[in-house]
Every structure is written in structure tokens, then in C-alpha cells.
């Protein structure tokens, strides 16, 4: 089969499309003919060797796929050959075939295209877990979403609006803010030109009830300082490349909480809550309440360029590699 291969941890330029052996199908697994692979920031970190998971070399990037079941491993019930599914193998998705644990494979609802299915679960799953289980976001609260036009950011904008929050999008360009406004934000802050803390306080008066932060770096502290009494700061990720250090007196002064979010671990530790989240997300999609935004498609041979687009901060919503 054809696969995009990473032979050494380092740069995207070293990724090559190669003919390689198909992955082995173990017990409890399904073999999937990949039709689409969603691109996520962790793909970049994994290739750079900076992610919490370091796959054995060589490996193919691609954490999230959609496709058709072509082989069923021993001990698997409830799936059929040809069934349309999405899966989160973690890596290996930028290839013609991938094997995934059946318990993490989910049937794709009728009418959901492969590219949307491959761009769905990781971002909406993270945002849903963050806002619902971790922030306990309530209707009428102010939610500020940083990196609001990125993958996990735009999902949080849509889900925050669905939960009845007033969503303030924050991003680095007017085009990104415009996208977030079209997906449910009511106001935008361009943090490339405006001071983040001052603008949050101007827009909310009392400060933000919840800040959702997938960016980190220099944005974290001003956002933390702009929280309201009992506000919650959601630590989603560090797309800026820098992990912030904050003075511990800041959460003390306003009774605020800094709340960690690790969706992948949540799916393992709390499988029933995870299943209920998926059920809700599929219902939101079927009702048209959430609208995954796939802005660009790349062929498998250009998978490295797809990931580089994220690294250059150029992605709007989701990017998908199609096979
Ligand atoms: N905690 C979890 O369970 C979980 C799950 C999934 C992903 N994540 C993390 O969430 C973060 C975002 O992932 P994603 O897939 O949504 O990525 P993405 O689509 O690329 O979005 C990231 C956003 O970060 C902003 N950004 C600021 N500085 C950047 C830089 N130097 N390079 C790239 N982007 C930069 C960009 O928005 P502006 O240009 O508007 O600033 C961009 O839209 C990553 O750190 C990822 O590891 C965490």
C-alpha cells in the first residue's frame, strides 16, 4: 500500500510517499481502507518528536480517519465488511490502510461525507469534554475562545453557542474572526493588534467566565487576568510552541481555576461519559446544530504540505487529506 512515511523525528520536509507493507491486523481490530484523514496539530508535534506519544520509527502520521471496513480481526463483533466508519488510531492514518481497535471505531451516520467524518471527533470531542465536563459551562456565561478559527477552537465556538453561552472569539486575523463569527461567536478580538485582557474586560464588564486556550504562550496570562470571579481557564494546548508559567497568586485573587483538559485520556478513563458525548455530538450534527468546516483538501502525496499549512498558522477550521 501507499503511505506517507516519517523515518526520523524532525521536519516535515523528510516525509515521503512510499510503497510499504500493510499494517498487521491484531485481535480486536478492524482493517480500514482510508478515504480521508483529518489533520490535527498533534500530527506535527509527533513528527517533531515533541508529542507525549512517540511512535516507533518509521511511522505514518494521521491520528483520525474515515473509511470502509475491509477486514475484521478475531474477537470483533458488531461490524460488517464495507461499513463506513471513523476511527482514531493515533497515528498511521495517512496511508491507504490502517488498523484500529474496534472499541474506538464508530459508525459514520448516513449522509456524513468521509471528509467531514475524518474532521469531526477529535476536535468536537475535545471541545465538548472541555466545556461540559471540565468547565461546566452554563447558559448565559461569557466564553472566550482563543485560536477560535483553528480545529479545536472553532468546535468550541459552535458548542459554546449551543450550550447558550455568549461566545467571544479571539484570533490573529480578520479572516479567522469572520469565520468564527459565522459559526456562532457574537464578538471578535484580534489579539495580533488589540490587547487581549483589556478587550475581554471591555466586552464583558466583569470578565470572562470561561477562557478556552489551545494556544498558550503569551496569551495565557492576559487571558487569566481577564477572568471573572470564579472563572475557569481551560488548558487545551500550546499551539504557539510555548508552555506558560503563571504566578500562583492570580487564581487566588479571583477564586479562579486553571483546569487541565486531556480528551484522549478522558476517553479511556470515563468511557461511558465519552460515549454519551459522542451520542450528543452525532445528534447535534444530524440536527444541523454543528457544521464542521473543512477548508482545504490535499492528496496523500501532499500530506506533509497539509500539516505544514497548520504549522504556518494558515489553516481555517479543518484540513483533510483524501485518499
Ligand atoms: N487537550 C486535548 O485533549 C487536546 C486535543 C486536541 C488538540 N489539542 C491541542 O490543541 C492545540 C490546537 O490544535 P488544533 O488541531 O486545533 O490546531 P490548529 O487547527 O492549527 O489551531 C491552532 C490555532 O493556534 C493558533 N496559533 C498561535 N500560534 C501558533 C503557531 N505558532 N503555530 C500554529 N498555530 C498557532 C492559530 O490561531 P491564530 O492564528 O488565530 O492565533 C491556530 O488556528 C494543539 O496544541 C493541540 O495539541 C489538545
Q: Number of structural domains, the chain? A: 2
Q: Which three cell numbers stand for residue 81?
A: 465488511
CATH number for the domain harbouring residue 81? 3.90.180.10
Do both 61 and 163 map to the same domain? Answer: no
Handedness of CA 246, 248, 249, 251 (dihedral sign): positive
Look at residue 11 and tell me whether its pLDDT is greater than 90.
no
Whole-number pLDDT of residue 13: 86
Per residue in 39-84, pLDDT (tens digit) is 999 999 999 999 988 999 999 999 999 999 999 999 999 999 999 9
Q: Are residues 27 and 114 in the same domain?
A: yes
* pLDDT score at 71: 98
Task: Kindly report the length of the chain.
Answer: 323
In a domain, 240, yes or no: yes
Verify that 139 and 115 share a domain, yes or no.
no
Is 21 exposed, middle or buried (CB count within 10 Å of its CB: 0-12, 13-18, 19+)?
exposed
Is residue 270 a part of any domain in this protein? Answer: no
Task: Please tell me the number of Cα atoms within 13 Å of 93 on its side-chain side.
Answer: 32
Q: Is the CB of 63 under 6 A from ligand 1?
A: no
What pLDDT sits at residue 42?
Answer: 93
The domain boundary, picked from 222, 246, 265, lies at: 265
Residue 82's CB is within 10 A of a number of other CB atoms, namely 9
* 112 and 236 both lie in a single domain: no
Q: Which of 313, 317, 320 to mutate to test the pocket of ligand 1 (most atoms within 8 A of CB)?
A: 313
Q: What grid cell was written down for 91?
A: 497515528
**Domain match, 301 and 173 both:** no
Domain assignment of residue 276, yes or no:
no
User: Residue 113 corresponds to which cell in the numbers above?
Assistant: 461525507
Residues 187 and 213 in one domain: yes
Domain end (from 265, 283, 303):
265
Residue 239 is part of a domain; what is its CATH number? 3.40.50.720
Q: Is 146 helix (H, G, I), strand (E, B) or coil?
A: strand
**151 ligand 1 Cβ < 6 A:** yes
pLDDT digits (tens, 9 = 90+) for 176-216: 999 999 999 999 999 999 999 999 999 999 999 999 999 99
> Ligand 1 mean position to 150 CA, how many Å?
6
DSSP string, 222-291: HHHHTEEEEEEEEE---TTS------THHHHHTT-EEEE--HHHHHHH-HHHHHHHHHHHHHHHHTTS--
Tell me what the mean pLDDT of segment 35-42 comes to.
96
- pLDDT reported for residue 262: 96
Quote the crossing angle between the two packed helices 151-162 and 174-182, to the nearest 10°: 40
- Does residue 34 have a pLDDT over 90? yes
Q: What are phi and psi of 27, to 5 degrees?
A: -60, 145
pTM of model > 0.85: yes
With a CB cutoff of 8 Å and minimum separation 6, the contacts of 231 are: 207, 208, 209, 210, 211, 254, 256, 257
**169 CB within 6 A, ligand 1:** no
β 29-39/97-101 pair status: antiparallel
* Residue 115 belongs to some domain of the structure: yes
pLDDT at 52: 86
Residue 277 lies in a domain: no
pLDDT at position 20: 96
138-148 residue pLDDT tens: 999 999 999 99
Cα(159)–Cα(234) distance, integer angstroms: 15
Same domain, 126 and 260: yes
pLDDT, tens digit, for every residue of 109-167?
999 999 999 999 999 999 999 999 999 999 999 999 999 999 999 999 999 999 999 99
pLDDT above 90 as % of the chain: 97
310 lines ligand 1 (CB under 6 A): yes
pLDDT tier, 317 (very low <50, low <70, confident <90, very high otherwise): very high
Looking at the fold, whether 135 and 249 belong to one and the same domain comes out as: yes
Report the nearest-CA residue for atom 30 of ligand 1: 240
Across the range 216-232, mean pLDDT stands at 98
Looking at the fold, whether 151 and 249 belong to one and the same domain comes out as yes
Is 279 inside any structural domain?
A: no
Give the cell for residue 189: 478580538
Same domain for 106 and 144: no
> Both 186 and 307 in a single domain?
no
- Across the range 166-178, mean pLDDT stands at 98
Within a domain: residue 80? yes
Residue nearest to atom 17 of ligand 1 (CA): 41
What number does the ligand 1 atom closest to the CA of 236 have?
Answer: 1
83, part of any domain: yes
Phi and psi at 151, nearest 5°, equal -60, -65
Can you tell me whether residue 112 is helix, strand or coil?
Answer: coil
Is residue 248 very low, low, confident or very high in pLDDT (cuts 50, 70, 90)? very high
Tell me what the pLDDT averaged over the chain comes to.
Answer: 97
Provide the residue range defining the domain that includes 111: 2-120+293-322
- The percent of residues in the chain predicted with pLDDT above 70, rounded, is 100
Predicted confidence band at 252 (pLDDT cuts at 50, 70, 90)? very high
Place 14 in a pLDDT band, splitting at 50, 70 and 90. Answer: confident
- Asked if 77 and 129 sit in the same domain, the reply is no
Return the exposure string of 191-226: e unless at least 16 CB atoms fall within 10 Å of the residue's CB, then b. Answer: beeeebbebbbebbeebbbbbbbbbbeebbbbbbbb
Amino acid at each position: 500500500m501507499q503511505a506517507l512515511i516519517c523515518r526520523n523525528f524532525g521536519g516535515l520536509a523528510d516525509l515521503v510517499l512510499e510503497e510499504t507493507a500493510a499494517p498487521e491486523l491484531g485481535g480486536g481490530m478492524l482493517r480500514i481502507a482510508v478515504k480521508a484523514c483529518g489533520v490535527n496539530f498533534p500530527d506535527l508535534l509527533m513528527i517533531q518528536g515533541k508529542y507525549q506519544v512517540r511512535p516507533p520509527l518509521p511511522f505514518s502520521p494521521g491520528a483520525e480517519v474515515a473509511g470502509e471496513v475491509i477486514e475484521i480481526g478475531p474477537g470483533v463483533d458488531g461490524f460488517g465488511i464495507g461499513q463506513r466508519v471513523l476511527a482514531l488510531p493515533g497515528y498511521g492514518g495517512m496511508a491507504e490502510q490502517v488498523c484500529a481497535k474496534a472499541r474506538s471505531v464508530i459508525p459514520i451516520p448516513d449522509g456524513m461525507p468521509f471528509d467531514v467524518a475524518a474532521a469531526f471527533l477529535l476536535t468536537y470531542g475535545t471541545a465538548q469534554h472541555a466545556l461540559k465536563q471540565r468547565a461546566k459551562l452554563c447558559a448565559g456565561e461569557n466564553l472566550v475562545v482563543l485560536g477560535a478559527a483553528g480545529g479545536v477552537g472553532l468546535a468550541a465556538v459552535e458548542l459554546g453557542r449551543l450550550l447558550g453561552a455568549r461566545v467571544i472569539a479571539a484570533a490573529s486575523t480578520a479572516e479567522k474572526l469572520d469565520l468564527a463569527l459565522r459559526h456562532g461567536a457574537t464578538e471578535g478580538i484580534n489579539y495580533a493588534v488589540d490587547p487581549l485582557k483589556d478587550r475581554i474586560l471591555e466586552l464583558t464588564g466583569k470578565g470572562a467566565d470561561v477562557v478556552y486556550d489551545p494556544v498558550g504562550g503569551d496569551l495565557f496570562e492576559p487571558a487569566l487576568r481577564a477572568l471573572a470571579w470564579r472563572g475557569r481557564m481551560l488548558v487545551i494546548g500550546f499551539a504557539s510552541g510555548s508552555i506558560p508559567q503563571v504566578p500562583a497568586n492570580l487564581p487566588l485573587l479571583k477564586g479562579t481555576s486553571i483546569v487541565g483538559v486531556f480528551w484522549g485520556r478522558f476517553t479511556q478513563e470515563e468511557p461511558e461519559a465519552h460515549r454519551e458525548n459522542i451520542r450528543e455530538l452525532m445528534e447535534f450534527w444530524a440536527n444541523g446544530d454543528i457544521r464542521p468546516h473543512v477548508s482545504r483538501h490535499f492528496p496523500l502525496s501532499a500530506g506533509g504540505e497539509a500539516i505544514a499549512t497548520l504549522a504556518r498558522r494558515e489553516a481555517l477550521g479543518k484540513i483533510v487529506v483524501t485518499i
